[in-house]
Structure 1
Amino acid sequence: MKTGERFTRDAWFEIGLQLLATEGEKALTIDRLCQTAERTKGSFYHHFKSHDEFVTALLAYWQFEYTNRIIARVEQLEDLSDRRRELDRLAASVDSRLERAIRRWSGVDERVQFMLKQVDEQRIQYLAKLICELGQPTEEMAYELAVIEYAAFVGLQQLFPEAESQWIERLIHRVTQLISSEK
């Protein structure tokens, strides 16, 4: 951002998510955020009344950017197979460092735990909807398959933190193939 340009809430969120991904939740202090942003505390407080307000808004931003926006992009495609491939591609491209950091943080902060449960359920519900649309005969089975697939995805992020997104995408595709063959 150029000097003199207005520093937005989203800019604070992007810095927060980057710090969270690289250094963990302990880096999300107002001092550290301001230092990284090269802004004053006054600039921070212009956008947020408190650190708690920032954390709550940061979590909502994460949900919007890494769940709602992905679903919206996938939904723009008409062909169901294209939707499926695009969802796998976008999911694999998500920064696994950030996802792991949020999961770790949820172990020590109830607000984060609550939001993570919401996001996990939203992602599973969307995946179940897509599985159903692709021909799974029952909603119950589609939901169960979505849980299995999502658990595999989260497990891949945890087990292989340095993996290339293309490799993760390939493995997600393999899981999808296994699940699809068991209709």
Structure 2
Amino acid sequence: MAAEQYYDEAMAILARDGAAGLKIGPLCRALGVTSGSFYHHFGSWSGFVRRLLEFWETDQTDRVVRLARATADPLQRMVLTKELTLGLRHDCDAAIRAWAAIDPEVGRAQRRVDGQRRAALEQVVADVVPDAAEAHRLAVLGISLMAGFQQTCDPRDKDLLRGLFDDYQRLIMTYAGAPLGSGPPSNG
């Protein structure tokens, strides 16, 4: 069994049951493998957690940043970033945020991911909003919007999140000096 299958199932368990539900036994049962197979792949629980967090960071942050940067047009990059962000596993992110409050290693990973996401968003916004200080504040607002949504709403409510991100995009366009309705149309 590939390590990615363990990570995908662990993310599903986190999204459904939170960190308290993520244990070797339930994970192995869900995958139909033995705990020996788990230890063969990861050596220990802490080894698994470290690699799971690396997978999460790569899959849910690095991949999104790479895909967004592949688009040359700044307005299209902003729209693509929004669409890619809508596709994140927000229910899993919400569980990781809660887990981060009680596990220092998870907390470090969460802060690193938030920092990477903010920096990437700031680059996207700065391509549309000429003032660097405004672009920075708008990026912090965007990450805060996403994290707040994950913590205070049903993270599976994609319609609400799309509406919030559409509002956020309109706000960015006002800072860019464009009329409120300008920019590429939303797909929602």
Structure-1-length-normalised TM-score: 0.89
1:49 — aligned with what?
A: 43
Judge conservation of contact 2:6–2:27 (CA < 8 Å) in 1.
Answer: yes
Shift of residue 170, structure 1, vs aligned partner: 2.6
Shift of residue 94, structure 1, vs aligned partner: 1.7
Shift of residue 163, structure 1, vs aligned partner: 5.3
Partners of 1:120 and 1:146 in 2: CA distance: 11
Structure 2 SS opposite 1:141: helix
Partners of 2:67 and 2:175 in 1: CA distance: 28
Shift of residue 167, structure 1, vs aligned partner: 3.4
- Structure 1 stretches of at least 4 aligned residues deviating more than 6 Å after TM superposition: none
Distance 1:162 1:148, change over 3 A: closer
Match of 1:88 among 58, 63, 82: 82
Judge conservation of contact 1:96–1:161 (CA < 8 Å) in 2.
Answer: no
Partners of 1:74 and 1:21 in 2: CA distance: 25
Give per-residue Cα distances to partners, 1:130-174, cap 9 Å, x unaligned.
111123222x33222100121112222323215532431232121
Give per-residue Cα distances to partners, 1:48-73, cap 9 Å, x unaligned.
11000000100110011100111111
What percentage of aligned pairs have identical amino acids? 27
Distance 1:24 1:164, change over 3 A: closer
Number of positions where the alignment pairs a residue of Structure 1 with one of Structure 2: 176
Shift of residue 176, structure 1, vs aligned partner: 2.4
1:99 — aligned with what?
A: 93
**Match status 1:19 vs 2:13:** yes
**Match status 1:164 vs 2:129:** no
**Match status 1:116 vs 2:73:** no
Judge conservation of contact 1:149–1:176 (CA < 8 Å) in 2.
Answer: no
Structure 2 SS opposite 1:61: helix
Judge conservation of contact 1:132–1:142 (CA < 8 Å) in 2.
Answer: yes
Structure-2-length-normalised TM-score: 0.87
Judge conservation of contact 1:9–1:47 (CA < 8 Å) in 2.
Answer: yes
Partners of 2:97 and 2:17 in 1: CA distance: 14
Please list every run of 5 or more consecutive structure 1 residues that lacks an aligned counterpart in the other structure.
Answer: 1-6
